[in-house]
Amino acid sequence: MDNAVYLDHNATTPLRDVALKAIMDANAGGGNASSVHRFGRLAHRTLEDARERVAALVGAKAEQVVFTSGGTEANNLALLGTLAGIANRRVLVSAVEHSSVAKIPGVETVPVDADGIIDIAALDCMLLAADTPSVVSIMLANNETGVIEPVAEAAAIAHRHGALVHCDAVQAAGKIPLEWSALGVDLMSISAHKIGGPQGVGALIVGDGVEIVPRTFGGGQERGRRTGTENIPGIAGFGAAAEEAKGSLDDYRALAQLRDAIEERILKISDKARIFAHARDRLPNTAMIAMPGVNAEAQVMAFDLAGVAVSAGSACSSGKAAAGSVLKAMGVAEDVASNAVRVSLGWTSTMADAEAFIAAWTKIYAKGQVGAEVPAA
């Protein structure tokens, strides 16, 4: 695997060295953060130090950070914990949300345009249609196409209707600058393993005055909003990764050059290839590309055999390589959507990785075209 090229950073990105060290140091320290002896106080100090670092990543206050087991739990807590027990509550979500939002019981779906951007006018009309307590959930950046949503604009509209606003910022954190106050949301979800921290740790950022009904019950940790003994080693790794990710935003911004080079070369190889949301503001590391005549599952396997790891979309699909709901919501025809794979660069990516992908794409495309003359990469 030494020569393997990893281009699936939106699924998970490799653990940063600083995160690994923080995890090991926390493991060596031991102690329960709720204990009052010196081992407990040391663990508590580690916990609160990480909380400060995670808060700084998104421009929030430390006391707003609620640690969870990941982005999925954070999303669930945001949408199920805010209006719990309220009759006739409404949860409005964009049509391209992650499954941890889209599968919340009783959600209403707000349509998106052909690039996956939420229809702001439709959201306004849907909120106007019923005077009922509501929560609106909009991701900041799409996990498949990378397109960036107009969250601040949507939040302003939702607030005019008295709705709370949740933002799934799992894919955006550490890739683009985030400022809690500028987005104007009430709740925000982030995840450690998307920024070079460990898997199994996330956070929900809760706005001042927003009440969260806990989904678990126990000792009152996390100010009673998410009880249970905190995962101190994981949280320590999260904090270390958050600090390094915030300081490396320029490096992530530079990945747009690799992404653009890949897309430019692919379109020269085949003008029938399709890059989704190509002209829209996107994450600098993400490209969703449909290869004419070759379905996504075959591509993923062929790329893997060529030593290049890509995906067919979200990693939360039980390992299946198939067209996801995002492209369908964008109105993409099934025969095109089924040929799309996601390329997601990350903090370890190099130009050599981009070249390896282009070379593999060229060979796979050539094999999939019967009688077609394929130009060299």
What residues are annotated to the active site?
Answer: 316
Other beta carbons within 10 Å of 251: 12
Instruction: Report the amino acid identity of residue 65.
Output: V
Residues, the chain, total?
A: 377
Where helices occur in the chain by DSSP H, the ranges are: 17-29, 38-58, 71-81, 99-102, 120-128, 151-160, 180-183, 232-247, 249-269, 296-305, 325-329, 334-337, 351-368
Q: How far apart are the first and last CA of the chain?
A: 24
Positive or negative, the Cα torsion across 177, 19, 75, 252? Answer: positive
Pairing label, strands 274-275, 90-94: unpaired
Q: Which of 14, 374, 319, 66 is nearest to 194 (CA)?
A: 14
136 close to 165: Cβ distance less than 8 angstroms: yes
Cα(180)–Cα(186) distance, integer angstroms: 9
Question: Cβ contacts of residue 13 below 8 Å, gap of 6+?
Answer: 193, 194, 195, 196, 346, 347, 348
Backbone angles phi, psi at 246, to 5 degrees: -60, -35
Question: Residue 100 corresponds to which tokens in the numbers above?
Answer: 């941890």
Cα(123)–Cα(186) distance, integer angstroms: 17
Q: Which of 92, 93, 91, 94 is nearest to 116 (CA)?
A: 94
Element (H, E) at 171: none
Sheet holding 202-206, edge to edge: 65-68, 202-206, 187-191, 164-168, 134-137, 90-94, 108-110
Sheet holding 274-275, edge to edge: 274-275, 286-290, 340-344
**Bridge partners (DSSP) listed for residue 108:** 92
